Amino acid sequence: MHYTPFTTYTPFMYYTLSTPSTTHTHPQMYVFLPHDSACQHASAVLLSYPKVITLSGMSKCFGMPGIRIGWLISQDTAFMNSIATQKDYTTICNAGPSEFLALVVLQHAGKVVGDIRQVVTRNARALEVFVSR
């Protein structure tokens, strides 16, 4: 399995993505935060490859680290079936209040992500000022 940060895709990377024996994990925990929309477009392209596993959740972009709600997306049916089987042995369902709160935040995702993006932008500028000294 190969870990790939979402900002490092090259022509070689797209070639290796099409190799049937290679599985790539693609974390999307921060996918809504970059200013560069190319990162989001790369995420959409990656979903077309059969051996890519993307994962995300409510903790980073949605500001809910304690909620413990996340998801996996893959076209690899065998992998998804094995994950479902493992989940059956570890936890049958999420906590009801967590699911409710996640749904409320997702219904207001534009505002929530926008607010968090403003904080990230402000902090990035502060970091640039600090480092430039």
**Residues across the chain:** 133
The pLDDT score that the predictor gives to residue 41 is 53
pLDDT digits (tens, 9 = 90+) for 20-52: 677 777 777 877 776 555 555 556 666 677 778
The pLDDT score that the predictor gives to residue 87 is 82
What distance in Å separates the CA atoms of residue 30 and residue 65, rounded to the nearest whole number?
13
Is the model's pLDDT at 100 over the cut of 90? yes
Q: Whole-structure pTM over 0.75, yes or no?
A: no
Is the model's pLDDT at 9 over the cut of 70? no
What distance in Å separates the CA atoms of residue 1 and residue 22, rounded to the nearest whole number?
6
The pLDDT score that the predictor gives to residue 40 is 54
pLDDT digits (tens, 9 = 90+) for 73-86: 888 888 889 988 88
The pLDDT score that the predictor gives to residue 104 is 95
Q: Any idea what the CATH number is for the domain that residue 61 is in?
A: 3.40.640.10
Number of domains in the chain: 1
Domain of residue 35: give its range: 2-132
